[in-house]
Every structure is written in structure tokens, then in C-alpha cells.
Amino acid sequence: MPRFFSETSLAAITPGQEICLPDAIFHHAVRVRRLKSGDDCILFDGDGNVWRVTLTGIDKRRAFVRAENQMPPPPPPSLPITLALAITAVDRMDWALQKGTELGVAAFLPFYGEHSNARLSDARQERRFEHWQAVIIGACEQCGQNRLPRLSPPVPFDTLLNTVTGEAAAWRLDADASQTLAAALQNARTLSPPEQVFLMVGPEGGFAPNEVRAADAAGWQAVRLGPRILRAETAAAAAITLVQAALGDLA
Ligand code: SAH
């Protein structure tokens, strides 16, 4: 059944209520997916409210749906994973956000590394942020994820280093690290499994030496993935998969 993200909260909807579809969903549902009166679809607001609705009327600019039944709220992630991702070229970043969402990342934290070659003006940053948000929403619509991963505005490297709190494992992906992520996960499983995981992936140019020192000092453990240098987005997807398989919902 087609699934559409509603920017408007669905918390106050009641069964049988008739609502007008927001413009973005109208376009997507009626023009792109060609839904007709009588068709069912799912609306979710990313905050845990999920409804099965039936299209009751369509005109040139609007469509109405009737709320049929509320679906059970999605369970919270078994292991919240935050992916800190150095800002890179648009398509690589999109890929990482899309695959990260599919693989169950709970929060994305883009950051500027010293070797990030993309530095965005405020206006471009805002447009990029909206674009990233749209990529995440598209991935949620497609993969059945009803809880929208959080997306933070880009932060400087220092701010990123200090976002880790509580019983968390913080791993910085680095091809030069002496320990593998697999070994770190094995350790975490036998000692004390973390309540949440932070993964940091660097830009195309890798981490600058002073960033490596600062991350070490802030308690981020450097870990490597096998013997090859991966593209940032590949490293992100591989690391999330390993973490989910060892401690999360791919186990
Ligand atoms: N020229 C850079 C390559 C950067 S690849 C360098 O030599 O470091 C982009 C990012 O992907 C890296 O910063 C790292 O976070 C991640 N990455 C790539 N290959 C990796 C590997 N084998 N193990 C761990 N992280 C890796």
C-alpha cells in the first residue's frame, strides 16, 4: 500500500474524520502514483502517528481522505544509531542518507571536516538541508519506516565531538585505525553493550591530524573496516550494517 509522509501532525485525527490531503501528498498520490477515489493508502507523520486512509474525493487541486484506522505506533529503535557524516558531494551524501535510513539510523548529524571540500553559504545550506530532509522522507515512504530519523543542521567538528553523552559507544571510521570495527563490536557485546552508538565518517580527504587528536581526546575510538579504502558513503553503509548485525535489529 502506498505510504506518504505528512508534515502536519496526525496526533489529533479520529476514526472516520475527513481530511484534505496536504499539497505535497496530493501531488505525489494523485499525479505521480495516480491513486483514485476508493483507494487506500497510509499516512504517517514521522512522530509515531500512522493512519490507513481511503481517498473519498479528488478534484483538480485537492483530494480528501477518510481516516479508517490508526496503526500501532512503530517501536523505538532497538539501538539508536547516530551517523555523523562529513559533508561531501550531493549525490554521495544523498546515497548515505537514503541507505542509512533504510538500515535504521535514528539520527543524522552532518558536520564540516577540515578536509570537507564543500562549504555551503547559509542560503545554500538551507536548501541542502531541505533536500536532505526530502531524501530521508522518500526513503521512509519506501522502506516502511514510520519514525523519521532526526536530521540536525550541519555542525562544526568541535561541536560534533561533544555531542556524545550517556552510555554510548562513539566510533570514528578511519582506514588507518589499528582496531577493526568488528573487534570493537565483539568487545562491546561481551563487556557491556552500549545503549546507543555514534558513528563518524570523514570526508573524501579523510581526517586532518589535529581532528584525529581531538577525536581521540574526546573519547571517540578509531576503528577500521577491512583492508580497502572505501568511499565515505560505502563506509557509512558498511559500518551501520555491522553495528546493526552485532547489537541492533539486523541481529
Ligand atoms: N583519502 C582518505 C580517504 C577518505 S575515505 C584517507 O586516506 O583517509 C572517506 C571516509 O570513509 C574516511 O574518512 C573514513 O571515515 C571512511 N573510510 C573509508 N575507508 C575506510 C576503512 N577501510 N575503514 C574505516 N573507515 C573508512
Query: What does the domain layout of the chain look like in residue ranges?
Result: 3-71, 81-247
At 97, the pLDDT band (50, 70, 90 cuts) reads: very high
pLDDT at 166: 82
Cβ proximity of 109 and 82 under 8 Å: yes
CA-nearest residue for atom 3, ligand 1, is 206
Pocket test for ligand 1, best of 109, 160, 173, 181 (most atoms within 8 A of CB): 173
* pLDDT value at 184 more than 80: yes
Residue whose C-alpha cell is 550531493 = 90
Are 68 and 54 in contact by the 8 Å Cβ rule? The answer is: yes
Q: What is the mean pLDDT of residues 200-209?
A: 95
CATH code, residues 3-71 = 2.40.240.20
* Ligand 1 lined by 175 (C-beta under 6 Å): yes
Spatial separation of the C-alpha atoms in residues 51 and 73, rounded to whole Å: 10
User: Taking residues 12-19, what's their average pLDDT?
Assistant: 96
**pTM here?**
0.94
**12 CB contacts (<8 Å, ≥6 apart)?**
none
Of ligand 1's listed atoms, the one at least distance from the Cα of 203 is 9
What is the rounded (10 degree) CA torsion for 169, 175, 177, 178? 120
**Burial of residue 100 (number of CB atoms within 10 Å: 0-12, 13-18, 19+):** buried
What is the structure's pLDDT at 89? Answer: 81
45 CA → ligand 1 middle, Å: 35
C-alpha cell at 84: 555523523
CATH value of 81-247 in 3.40.1280.10, 3.40.50.920, 3.40.630.30, 3.30.1300.10: 3.40.1280.10
CA angle 101, 104, 109 (to 5 degrees): 60
Residues 206 and 215: their CA atoms lie apart, in Å, by 13
What kind and span of H or E run contains 93? helix 90-102
Confirm or reject: Cβ of 230 under 6 Å from ligand 1: yes
For the cut 90, the answer to whether the pLDDT of residue 65 exceeds it is yes
How far apart CA 119 and CA 109 sit, in angstroms, is 16
The residue among 183, 187, 185, 180 whose CA lies nearest residue 227 is 180
| Residue 42 near ligand 1, beta carbon < 6 Å | no
Q: How far apart are the two ends of the chain, measured CA to CA in Å?
A: 27
Segment 170-196 mean pLDDT: 96
User: CB-based contacts of 34: which residues, under 8 Å, 6+ apart?
Assistant: none
How many angstroms separate the alpha carbon of residue 4 from the centre of ligand 1?
35
CB 2 within 8 A of CB 54: no
